[in-house]
Amino acid sequence: MKFKCLFALVIASSLISGCAPTSVVGKNARHLSLQLAADNHDVNTRSLITDTQYSLEKFLQQFYDLGKKDRQKGMDTNHAYQRVSSFVKDDVFNPKTQKSNYINRSYDANNPDSQAKRLLDSAIKTYWDGYNRVI
């Protein structure tokens, strides 16, 4: 009887552990993909949250790595704040350039201002996670 319970517990925990993101970048990407999906009110073009999360992880990983490298170089927080403020100038966060992808096609975003702000906020949060060595 103990063996059956232990076996069931091991199987259940292994199935559940594969469902959650394991890194802080994955968690930030998951949160951002859910926010972007909530902003899209068109029922005909619902986004696939897992696919969006996967692409956002690649996008956010560069900010995490940048924060981590800046900390390793010995950059103080004042310079780190200057680095973060320079993200606003990046064209990726410009509302005019925001796109949504649906069935391998790119369209103008439904809420470009909101999407740009959410991307910027997530990039900044992920940068600070890297800078502060959050795992």
Q: The whole model's pTM is what?
A: 0.80
Token pair listed for 76: 């103080």
54 in a domain, yes or no?
yes
13 in a domain, yes or no?
no
- The pLDDT of 40-51, averaged and rounded, is 73
61 in a domain, yes or no?
yes
pLDDT tens figures, 33-45: 999 888 876 666 6
71 in a domain, yes or no?
yes
Q: What is the pLDDT of residue 3?
A: 65
31 in a domain, yes or no?
yes
| Spatial CA neighbour of 110 closest among 32, 30, 56, 43 | 43
115 in a domain, yes or no?
yes
Number of domains in the chain: 1
* Domain containing residue 31: 25-38+47-131
